[in-house]
Amino acid sequence: MNKTIKSLEEVTIRFAGDSGDGMQLTGGQFTTTTAFVGNDLATLPDYPAEIRAPAGTLAGVSSFQIHFGAKEIRTPGDQCDCLVVMNPAALRAYLKCLKDGGTIIANSDNFIEKNLKLAGYESNPLEDGSLGRYQCYPVEISKLTQNALSDMNLSPKLVDKTKNFFALGITYWMYNRPIEPTLKWIKEKFSNQPEIIEANTRVLKAGYAYGETTEIFTTRYEVEPAQLPPGKYRSITGNEATAWGLMAAAKKANLELFLGSYPITPASEILHELSKYKNYGVKTLQAEDEIAGITSAIGAAYGGALAATTTSGPGMALKTEALGLAVMLELPLVVVDVQRGGPSTGLPTKTEQADLLQAIFGRNSEAPIPVLAASSPTDCFDVTFEAARIAIKYMTPVIVLTDGYIANGAEPWLIPKLNELPVISPKFATDPTTFQPYARDEITLSRPWAIPGTPGLEHRIGGLEKSHIYGNISYDPENHDFMVKLRAKKIANIANDIPNATIFGDNSGELLLVSWGSTFGAIRSAVENKRLQGKSVSHLHLRYLNPLPNNVGDILIKFKKILVPEINLGQLIKILREKYLVDAIGYNMVRGLPFRAIEIENKVDEILK
């Protein structure tokens, strides 16, 4: 039958099912294909922390949301246009995210009495009329998958594992996506398993053909490519971008890269990604604990490598003493904290912004460390590269804050040319006649980087206080006072080496929203919408959090009201109030989820009224 083709500017889809239904893989393939088509996009993987929660329960639901369009996309979408659910629990968990009139594609084979009870349904919602506000399409996905593979003599378990590709095929057809990138991926992924290649290929094509031939779908949607800057793109997650930022920085500095880390959700993928590139001067050590991870990295920095360690909030707590050691040694080190819900082990697979105060202040004594925060998956590359530049130039550890949302999320990345990246120039001491281990560069106040084993450059390191210039152990009160203030001044001076903060919108007015980290997308989208409505609203986003850019105070005083939305109970706002004496308003939600743009818009309306 003829199908109507409808053009859309943007679409949000969520795939949801049991933890074993392959929703993350399904969403990942849809993301890669959508990037291939040329749409801008943002994603939100959402999965349980348990290895395998009870099948069919709300606790076991795993989902993947993607927002893509023909325009610039900054968030994974406030509400879904299409919800693909593999069981009743997935429908129960995410129906609230679907727009009125939105599309539901449900695997009706799983809407049996047992699964309905596990999800808390007294009757089948696909049949009782409760979904009348939506366009609901029950599809026998499991049965149709079995039919497609009926002659292959595969085990029922293996057949069931392929049903996610049937759902993927339907959505590829519905949103006019090519299946070839996924077919290529299947061949590469299962190159030694021809039966698996054949099964997944058949099921994907069967799902696509079902959309084409069935009479229940009358409309197909088309989303034109976005007008992105010309260049070579790839889909990249925040963790992948962080790894590539470290590698690019090491290449620009002509140094070997060393990562010493202990696996921890949601930072482990950085270690996994870097471990692939041992042939490119990358060394990775999966340490036995968090302390071993950072101390091995400090040792690598002492040996002349670009050293890094990655972790999440609980791991940052364990690394605290060694961070103080790195401050005292004045060696370059990049520490990446992929924040997650806390405290303690908290919500390992959910996002949060609650480590800012820990990053800036969480060490004994006076141990200042520069802190930067990434705002999106692709920004993880730029921020990590910049952190490495600062670490090497100023001989200091630097903390990079990302979080679970942008670490696991993906978007198209314009691959930069290496020769266009900023120069990073390590300055190693080589002359034994002039070498003093704690002499200072006049501008950066950094001490020399002396590689152990270099004749004539023998010097003492360790956590005990050192004497100015000579580096001997010193308990002198005046020397300690001098060295503490000198280390603090070195970090404060970095403010002269970073860009001034810039405002989106007017330079003065009624309301300024101040953000940091992954709240950027939702806040910028909300401010854009409010400005289109004629509201006096501007946006200041901060990448550099310690030290803050020199002009932040001058910006803040030009607005009548300041709103600081954070996924914590108010951490940046404490710093702004203390440093600039501004009566800022906090807007705080700690749900393990990113802000939605509409939530920010509603708060803006409330304040302006």
In this structure, what are the phi and psi dihedrals at residue 515, rounded to the nearest 5 degrees? -135, 165
Q: What is the pLDDT of residues 101-124, one digit of tens each?
A: 999 999 999 999 999 999 999 999
3-state secondary structure of 239: helix
Please state, in angstroms and as integers, the Cα–Cα distance from residue 373 to each residue in 119, 351, 473, 543, following that order.
Answer: 39, 14, 35, 5
Distances (CA, A) of 407 to 80, 249, 349, 385: 22, 19, 11, 16
CA nearest neighbour of 248 among 257, 261, 259? 257
Domains 4-222 and 503-608 share a fold: no
CATH number belonging to domain 4-222: 3.40.920.10
How much is the pLDDT for 3?
80
- Average pLDDT value for residue range 372-392: 98
Strands 40-46 and 61-69: antiparallel
**Domain ranges (residues) in the chain:** 4-222, 234-420, 427-497, 503-608
Using the 8-state DSSP alphabet, how is residue 240 labeled?
A: H
Q: In this predicted structure, what is the pLDDT of residue 267?
A: 97
The rounded distance, in Å, linking the Cα atoms of 579 and 117 is 55
CATH number of 234-420: 3.40.50.970
In angstroms, how far is CA 568 from the centroid of its own chain?
17
The pairing of strands 410-414 and 233-237 is antiparallel
Q: In which band, very low, low, confident or very high, does the pLDDT at 2 lie, cut at 50, 70 and 90?
A: confident
pTM of the model: 0.95
Residues 193-243 pLDDT 10s: 999 999 999 999 999 999 999 989 989 999 999 998 999 999 999 999 999
Helix (H) or strand (E) holding 223: none
Burial class (CB in 10 A: 0-12, 13-18, 19+), 184: exposed
Confidence category of residue 1, pLDDT binned at 50, 70, 90: low
Question: Any idea which residue has 């606790």 for tokens?
Answer: 59
The pLDDT value given to residue 49: 84
DSSP annotation of 498: S
- pLDDT single digits (tens) 469-491: 999 999 999 999 999 999 999 99
As a whole number of angstroms, the distance between CA 343 and CA 307 comes to 28
Tell whether the model's pLDDT for residue 175 goes beyond 90.
Answer: yes
Decide which of 112 and 55 is more confident.
112
pLDDT score of 358 more than 70: yes
**Helices marked H in 176-237 — which ranges?**
180-189, 194-213
Query: Of 3.30.70.2750, 2.60.40.1480, 3.40.50.920, 3.90.950.10, which CATH number belongs to 503-608?
Result: 3.40.50.920
> Measured between alpha carbons, how far is 504 from 515 in angstroms, rounded to an integer?
12
How far is the C-alpha of 376 from the C-alpha of 517, rounded, in Å?
8
How many CB atoms lie under 10 A from the CB of residue 170?
26
Q: What share of the chain is helix, strand, coil (3-state, %, to 5)?
A: 40, 20, 35
Tens digits of residue pLDDT in 142-159: 999 999 999 999 999 999
Q: Is 53's pLDDT higher than 90?
A: no
CA angle at 382 for the pair 380 and 387, rounded to the nearest 5°:
90
